[in-house]
Amino acid sequence: MDALKRPLFVPPEFSVYAEEKGVFHLYQSILSQLVIHKPKDPLTFIAQYLAKPTQDPPRLVVYGPPTSGQYTISKLAAQKLNVVHVNPQRLLVDEDTVTKEARDLQVAGKSIPPELWAQIIATRLEADDCTSKGWVLEGFPRTREQALALKAAGVLAKHFIHLSAPNNVLHERYSGKRVDSLSGDVYHLLFHPPDSSDVASRLIEEPNGKQAMMEGLDHYHRYSSPLLDCYSTVSKTFNADQPLDDLFEEVTSYLSSEPRSAAPHTPRILLLGPTGAGKTLQALHLARTYNIVSVDARELIRRTINSGSNDAVKMKPFYERGMMIPDDMVISLLSQRLSRLDATSRGWVLHGYPLTRDQADLLTKVAQAPNRVFFLNLPEDSVRERLSMRRLDPVTGDRYHLLFKPPQSQEIKDRLVIHPRDSESKVTARLSLYNSYIEDLVDCYPLAQHINADQDPLTVFECIESVLIRPATKQTSPKH
């Protein structure tokens, strides 16, 4: 970038690469690991950290009252994500000094201190299998103190799954709960029966299970609220009173979602839709609300042609004959505009381009792929009705709509005329062109959001805005 040249241009590859590769997130995770582990040799530690197959494996906690399905959901999640299933109680069978101290406390009828629990669990989660593949921690922590001790030990969950169900449902579930006397696996005679008769013959009721159930339920209601506050930014509550397949589908959807990130985000929004769908109006709303640059491809071409520049000389013959301007000329013009400092620093919303799959591919080729795409869908009947109410001020060149954007004075209203582009024949031609390419564009942007544009413009904007405030999925570029 030349600081002496105006307007300033910033290569778009900078922000696109950082966003696609998660550079900010990687930098953030490295800093967090340095703060947690405090290595004596930070550079060697960073090199070893970056050499791992993945720097951010799944880390989730499954928590809920007794018989809410903690074990089953943890086991299914571990299989689905191919991570390590960690049950704190099973860790106590190890013969090291720390777990022996914990067992001795249990035998003496004393509770294990949160710091000791955190030490035991942190040691297990720092093993190679957990650090490389990730982990799911079942039923722990159960108090705020245990949660804080885990965080102090460097155990940070990416997702906290809270299973919730009414007390009467939990009691009903307990009546069918059984445990495999050999493996310790948990089953339910109705909801999760064993697959083999051998396992069924080994099933027993938990010793003192009913008393433990009552105590566990009381403990849950007493400590769950302050515990959930510790994980408020990464937790989600699920209704456990539903079929297991439905519950796990909801959990899987949550685990596959992108968490909110503090990474700098430059909006690159693309609005697509038929003529009259309101792309220009929605782009104006977005530009005003989020202080981003609105780029109307058609208006940009008209201004360029009227400027008398070298680009104008090349484009003018095509424009005057009513022909399509070659894609390489248009993409060069758009790339220059979208690379200006205002667009690269604040973000942009583009409309009026692309019209075809080839044009969409060209946008990606010049590193101007959008990270949010919206199709504003509108039936043809509504398109013709809307365009019949559009008007043009021949004096100022301003465009109005008798319903959505009426003129501010009678004087302006009296001189309004129908824009030549809104004639019946030209509207039909534009609709025909859009319909011939719409399927290719939908296929090109599989993660695009489809908005019903046949409603009040402010309602349409609210629909767009509700998507913009959610984290974007990682696959934002078109398919090839």
pLDDT at 308: 80
Distance of CA 249 to the CA centre of its chain: 17
pLDDT at 95: 66
Q: Which residue has the higher pLDDT, 351 or 37?
A: 351
Instruction: Assign 7 a pLDDT band (cuts: 50, 70, 90).
Output: low
Does 162 score more than 60 pLDDT? Answer: yes
pLDDT at 480: 39
Distance CA 323, CA 305 (A): 14
Q: Which residue has the higher pLDDT, 467 or 159?
A: 159
This prediction has a pTM of 0.58
- Identify whether the C-beta of residue 276 lies closer than 8 Å to the C-beta of residue 309: no
Distance CA 304, CA 337 (A): 11
Domains of the chain, earliest start first: 57-256 (3.40.50.300), 268-468 (3.40.50.300)
Does 1 score more than 60 pLDDT? Answer: no
Structure tokens at 267: 């909006």
Distance CA 404, CA 388 (A): 13
Distance CA 148, CA 153 (A): 9
Does 159 score more than 60 pLDDT? Answer: yes
Q: What is the pLDDT of residues 53-86, one digit of tens each?
A: 676 789 999 999 998 999 999 999 999 999 999 9
